[in-house]
Amino acid sequence: MAKYYDIDDIITDEEIVAVIFQKAASGVGIDPSSETDCVEVGSKVELPFWLAHELQQRQAVSMNIPTSFNQNTRLEIQADSACVDLRSRCPYFYEFGCKIAPLVGARNIGPLLLSAFKSRYKEVLTKAHTAAFTAASKNLTILTKEETNLYEAAQSSMAAFKKWRMGGPRFQKASILGRKRKSTE
């Protein structure tokens, strides 16, 4: 419940999960490809995570592994995790993986996340503090939200330090004083 107000958490819950319905549902327009409003038993539908989670708790659906964690991604991460474009697959890769792991029952998501994060972390670290702005932009587009947070934290603190070191006036003029009074004519 501590994450109730966390925006990142809310958006993570929006990720799509493929589920298989165990019970028939009528009167719901969830599946856009079916003609009627009913959903058959055993049909595969794509739902957002918050809905799939609730339905799974009521044993109405069973969740599959989402596409972001399938075999393709796994192989890519094992090959070279630093270059995998995680943001286009799932910008909340790590958070989503943490939520999915106990529900789907696949035991290898956790170590996958961990190894991916470990190797990507080194890349983020080396680029974060020191790289010039232009050089880093290629790396930025492939980071997930969590890694981007890390990166930006380091960048901003480094930039603040550099700005302080350059010197300059120690007092900041309040912005309201800078506005010239408009002539009333």
Partner 1 sequence: MAGQSDPQLSLFSAEEVEFIAEDEMVEIVPNLRMDALNFVCGDFGPFFPQLATQVPLWLAVALKKRGKCTIRPPQWMTVEKLTQVLEAERDSQRVFEQLPFHYVEISRLLFDHARDDIPDVYMVRSLIEDIRDVRFHKVETNLESLNERAFALKINNLSAMEVNIVRPFVGRALQAFYKHDSPDLIPDQDRVSDRRPQVANNATRRHLRR
Task: Name the site residues for partner 1 (rule: CB under 8 A).
Answer: 94, 98, 101-102, 107, 109-111, 113-114, 117-118, 121-122, 125-126, 128-130, 146, 149-150, 153-154, 156-158, 160-161, 163-165, 167, 170
Whichever of 107 and 179 has its CB closer to partner 1, that residue is 107
What gap in Å lies between CA 17 and CA 52, rounded to an integer? 7
In terms of Cβ atoms closer than 10 Å to its own Cβ (0-12, 13-18, 19+), residue 15 is: buried
Whichever of 75 and 114 has its CB closer to partner 1, that residue is 114
For the CB of residue 122, give the shortest distance to partner 1 in the complex, in Å.
Answer: 5
Q: Which residue has the tokens 């969590």?
A: 146
For the CB of residue 180, give the shortest distance to partner 1 in the complex, in Å.
Answer: 28
What gap in Å lies between CA 97 and CA 76, rounded to an integer? 16
For the CB of residue 161, give the shortest distance to partner 1 in the complex, in Å.
Answer: 5
Whichever of 108 and 137 has its CB closer to partner 1, that residue is 108
Whichever of 125 and 135 has its CB closer to partner 1, that residue is 125
Q: Where are the beta strands (DSSP E) in the chain?
A: 16-21, 44-48, 61-63
What gap in Å lies between CA 73 and CA 95, rounded to an integer? 16
Of the candidates 101, 108, 116, the residue with the CA atom closest to the CA atom of residue 147: 116
For the CB of residue 129, give the shortest distance to partner 1 in the complex, in Å.
Answer: 6
For the CB of residue 3, give the shortest distance to partner 1 in the complex, in Å.
Answer: 12
Question: Which two tokens mark 95?
Answer: 């958070």
